[in-house]
Amino acid sequence: MNIRTFRIGGVHPEENKLTHEVATKVAALPKQAIFPLSQHIGAPTKPVVQKGDKVKVGTMIAEAGGFVSAPIFSSVSGTVFKIDTAIDATGYRKPVIIINVEGDEWEESIDRSTKLELVKDHPELTPEEIVSRIKNAGVVGMGGACFPTFIKLTPPPTAKAECVIINAVECEPYITADYRLMMEHADEILVGLELLMKGAKVTRGYIGIETNKPAAIELLTKKAAEKFTNSDYQVEVVPLAQRYPQGGEKQLVDAVIRRQVPAPPAIPVNVGAIVQNVGTAFAVYEAVMKNKPLFERYTTVTGKKLANPGNFLVRMGTPMKDLIDACGGMPEGDNKLLAGGPMMGKALTSVEVPICKGTNSVTILSGDDARRKEPQPCIRCAKCVGACPMGLEPYLLAKLSDVKNWERAEREDIVSCIECGSCQFTCPAHRPLLDNIRQGKATVMGIIRNRNAKK
Amino acid sequence: MYGVMIALLPALLVSFYYFGLGSVIVCLTSVAACVFFEWAINKFVLGNERNSILDGSAALTGLLLGFNLPSNLPIWIIIIGALFAIGVAKMSFGGLGCNIFNPALVGRAALLVAFPAQMTTWPKVGQLGAYVDVETGATPLALMKEAIKSGDASVLNQLPDATALLLGNHPDGAGALGEICALALLLGLAYMLWKKIITWHIPVSIIGTVFVFSGLLHLINPAYADPCTVILTGGLMLGAIFMATDYVTSPMTAKGQLIYGVAIGFLTVVIRNWGSYPEGMSFAILIMNAFTPLINTYIKPKRFGEVPAKQ
């Protein structure tokens, strides 16, 4: 078997996939559900409900606020309690819609059966129809970045899509939500892939999976062969050597089809690839075939000290506290709560932060794992330069950000940083490289936007 | 830091074996003096709350400085060397991570200029109980220089053979206490490569360049020693493996490290053959230390996406 991987940098963090073989449970309904108006990259949504309105499961509660945006649907039935602000994953108070849960009544338009629908039985599904259903169902990238999916499927006229790559890498430590989804819903994911290929008008598809998930590779290889042999589509399951950050979009494209996406503003479709997370493929299946908008997702709740870590099918808006309690409650002592995994996850300031479209994991680091080590002086050992998957010089970018030399930071390609944290992970002096680079990157991107706006 | 010290252990033990008491005194003095100066300057001059002596960098500088000295050097001279290494080369630039030049080499270079007589007489091996008062002799490098000056290749016949150089079993004057056994230093290299403390780029490019360049000279004129002998003598192995690879003063990218290594190898051969000192390794490294910031500015890693797409 030819095991591929990306070509520059990378690190090998400890896996800690504690919940690999824990079957997914359906999480209990919350008493109150909280929906931040901004759950995706792009313009925040605008509420279309008011205090006191009755909603059902699947009712749209906020509409897209611009072209790059995605509507939000209620995951519960009940009454709109208020439109207010609450702390979200950024740590700031942001506008939210809060709904008091009453019963569990779904919109009639949603097909709740578990029958597997096939694309060939639905001639009405033209590419345009597929993209429109995806857009209207509020589907965004489920891997964490939350970029609206329909935009990726309709590339600018300067680029031509050649293939769809399903990102089933899950290289981030601890998280197992995508793996469980593959093991439990392989057929739906493959239909989702077919819809994505049809929507993007391509016939080639790849599913990239790291070799630490042999069961998923075997299952999907078998099912894909059954489904796509003698069809119009060529689909290949690509086993990938374990290496972080293989799940990064650009790294995955490099690993699977050996093409490197140029520096920003180029995106994967500039080299012909449309990358979608496996969770997104599943959401696309449900949105197109079951008319079910995006309001629930697979989320891993994990941590070494957690009594019963597990994988959950969660209604969005559920506060993390409910899930943590379902796993045996917050462990004793010092803990760090992360939305996402330990490499890229965001540390949270509150357990009341709700599960959103992009929350693939709730990770609790305890004791020494939760603490940062004291930074030592940089001795220019160049380990960060070797680890950077984008071929950047993290020590330099961190320094330039620290001294606010934005011109030089831009020249040194700070905006190419994918914020994977490999540099900070590998730094023997425990320097907060990524913290500095993130701030620098945000500032430089702001400067570039202003400059472009003036033109 | 401690990994590098472990890698230096074989060479240290070999130096005890060949030089005995002298080696022990020189190394201990050098390490103690370096650690003391680091502590004292941090506390009394810079007023740093947190003292940096536990990170091991000062002790490592001390050990490397000791490795570069003759085993019969008086204690007071060693202390002056340590003051130059830590005080001038390191702390005056801002301490760990901020220095431009390799501290241990600055210490050695300062002593070489200030005390040329003491720094160029090298004890013969095997005088285990002696310290300052020892029998000295000419090093292989001095013989090589003589051969070039006189143009008489037969002088080279007095050189020890490659096996003796590899093991450090010199019949005549040996050299600095840490550099005499190439095998022990290569063991250290193997350890550091295995532990991923350093990459192969700098040592291989230096040794390779010296081998090729001096090999060419040897082919043109046999008064230049053969390349195997050249790479096994003097401070070449010590410099290429432990001094040039110092993180702080070497370039950050693989490409930059290759440029740096090739330049050091080239300069070493030039200084050894045509300069006024028999050994050029330390000066070559110090010269290239000065170019490291320039190399870092202009030699960039290959950015993601610049590779032409392969169909």
The backbone torsions φ and ψ at residue A323, rounded to the nearest 5 degrees and listed phi first, read -70, -40
What is the mean predicted confidence (pLDDT) over B33-53?
86
Rounded average pLDDT over B160-185: 80
CA dist., res. A97 & res. A3, Å (int): 46
pLDDT of residue B308: 52
Q: Which residue in the block uniquely carries the two structure tokens 């709700």?
A: A354
**Chain A contact set for B97 (CB, 8 A):** 377-380
pLDDT in tens, A287-309: 999 999 999 999 999 999 999 99
Question: For B67-81, what is each residue's pLDDT tens digit?
Answer: 999 988 999 999 999
d(CA B234, CA B217): 18
pLDDT tens digits for range A123-150: 999 999 999 999 999 999 998 788 999 9
Q: What percent of chain A has pLDDT over 90?
A: 87
Give the integer Cα–Cα distance in Å for A268 and A272.
Answer: 7
Tell me if B305 and A416 make a contact (CB, 8 A cut-off). Answer: yes
Alpha helices by DSSP H, listed for A229-316, are 249-257, 278-289
Nearest-Cα distance to chain A for B98, in Å, is 8
Residue A283 neighbours by CB distance under 10 Å: 29
Per-residue model confidence as pLDDT tens digits over B196-214: 999 999 999 999 999 999 9
CB contact under 8 A, B309 and A380: no
| pLDDT of B311 higher than 70 | no
Contact B306 A389 (CB under 8 A): no
Residue B170 reports pLDDT greater than 90 = no
Beta-strand runs (E) in A168-268? 204-210, 234-240
pLDDT band (50, 70, 90) for residue B49: confident
Per DSSP bridges, beta strands A93-101 and A32-36 are antiparallel
> Between chains, do B306 and A266 touch, taking CB under 8 Å as contact?
no
Inter-chain residue contact A388 with B301, CB threshold 8 Å: yes
Kindly indicate the confidence band of residue B171, based on its pLDDT and cuts at 50, 70 and 90: low
As a whole number, mean pLDDT of residues A50-68 equals 93
CB of A422 within 8 A of CB of A389?
Answer: yes
DSSP secondary structure letters along A374-390: PP-------HHHHH-TT
| Separation of alpha carbons A335 and B21, rounded Å | 54
Q: B48, B255, B303: best mutation site toward chain A, by most A Cβ within 10 Å?
A: B303
The interface predicted TM-score (ipTM) is 0.85
Name A47's bridge partners: A62
Chain A contacts of B310, Cβ < 8 Å? 258-259
Percentage of chain B lying above the pLDDT 70 cut: 97
The CA distance from B85 to B62, in Å, is 8
Q: Do A260 and B305 touch (CB under 8 A)?
A: yes
Instruction: Kindly identify which residue of chain A lies nearest to residue B247, measuring between CA atoms.
Output: A381
Residue B310 has pLDDT above 70, yes or no: no
Q: Which residues of B touch A (CB under 8 A)?
A: 52, 55, 57, 95-98, 199, 247-248, 250, 252-254, 296, 300-307, 309-310
What residues of A are in the B interface, CB distance below 8 Å?
7-8, 250, 254, 258-263, 266, 271, 376-382, 385-386, 388-393, 395-396, 413, 416
Residue B309, pLDDT > 70, answer: no
Contact A261 B305 (CB under 8 A): yes
Q: Return the exposure string of A37-55: e unless at least 16 CB atoms fall within 10 Å of the residue's CB, then b.
A: bbbbbbebbebebeeebeb
Which chain B residue shows the shortest CA-CA distance from A267?
Answer: B305
Q: Mean pLDDT in chain A? A: 93
Question: What average pLDDT score do residues A435-440 get?
Answer: 94
pLDDT one-digit tens code per residue, A146-175: 899 999 999 888 889 999 999 999 999 999
Give B-chain residues touching A257 at CB under 8 angstroms. Answer: none
The nearest CA of chain B is from the CA of A375 a distance in Å of 12
Give Cα separations from A97 to A2, A5, A145, A446, B81 (angstroms): 49, 42, 22, 29, 71
Task: State both tokens at A445.
Answer: 């991107």
- Cβ partners under 8 Å of residue B72, min gap 6: B22, B121, B123, B130, B131, B132, B133, B134, B136
Reported as a pLDDT band with limits 50, 70 and 90, residue A391 is very high
| CB within 8 Å of A10: residues ≥ 6 apart | A243, A244, A245, A246, A251, A387, A389, A422
| Distances, alpha carbon B183 to alpha carbons A254, A434, B14, in Å | 42, 41, 10
| Chain A residues in contact with B247 (beta carbon < 8 A) | 379-382
Q: Check residue A121 and report its DSSP letter.
A: G
Q: How confident is the model at residue A236 (pLDDT cuts 50, 70, 90)?
A: very high
Closest CA to A341 of A90, A14, A39: A14
Judge: B96–A390 Cβ closer than 8 Å, yes or no.
Answer: no
From A207's Cα to the closest Cα of chain B, the distance in A is 19
Cross-strand partners of A302: A363
The mean pLDDT of B273-286, rounded to a whole number, is 89
Residues of B in contact with A388 (CB under 8 A): 301
Among residues A147, A199, A171, the alpha carbon closest in space to that of A40 is found at A147
Q: What is the pLDDT of residue A325?
A: 95
Amino acid at A205: G
Least confident of A312-316, B41-45, B102-106: B41-45
The DSSP 8-state label assigned to residue A30 in this structure reads P
Instruction: Provide mean pLDDT across the span A47-62.
Output: 95
- Residue B121's pLDDT is 82
pLDDT band at B173 (very low <50, low <70, confident <90, very high): low
- Mean pLDDT, to the nearest integer, of A227-237? 92
A22 to A18, A300, A377: CA distances (angstroms): 8, 10, 43
Q: How many CB pairs under 8 A join A and B?
A: 73
Which chain B residues are within 8 Å of A250, Cβ to Cβ? 304-305
At residue B133 the predicted structure's pLDDT band, cuts being 50, 70 and 90, is confident
Contacts with B300 from chain A: Cβ below 8 Å: 393
A358 vs A445: CA distance, rounded Å: 23
List CB contacts (< 8 A) between B258 and chain A. Answer: none
Shortest distance between the Cα of A426 and any Cα of chain B, in A, equals 12
Distance from CA of B179 to the nearest CA of A (A): 24
**pLDDT tens per residue across span A306-327:** 999 999 999 999 999 999 999 9
Q: What pLDDT sits at residue B144? A: 84
Per DSSP, the three-state class of B241 is helix
Question: Which residues from B are below 8 Å from A393, CB to CB?
Answer: 252-253, 300-301
Which chain A residues are within 8 Å of B199, Cβ to Cβ? 386
More confidently predicted of A226 and A265? A226
* Pairing relationship of beta strands A234-240 and A60-63 according to DSSP bridges: unpaired
Residues of B with CB below 8 A from A392's CB?
301, 303
Q: What is the DSSP string of B84-96?
A: IIIIIIIGGGTST
In the predicted model, what is the mean pLDDT of chain B? Answer: 88
Q: In Å, what is the CA distance from B1 to each residue of A179, B61, B197? A: 41, 10, 9
List pLDDT tens digits, range A172-202: 999 999 999 999 999 999 999 999 999 999 9
Strand segments, DSSP code E, in A50-167 are 54-55, 60-63, 72-73, 78-87, 93-101, 163-167
Residue of A8, A381, A392 lying closest to B247 (CB–CB): A381
Q: Per the CB < 8 Å rule, is B98 touching A390?
A: no
Domains with residue ranges and CATH for chain A: 119-289 (3.40.50.11540), 383-454 (no CATH)
Q: Decide if B304 and A390 are in contact by the 8 Å CB cutoff.
A: yes
Confidence of residue B307 (pLDDT cuts 50, 70, 90): low
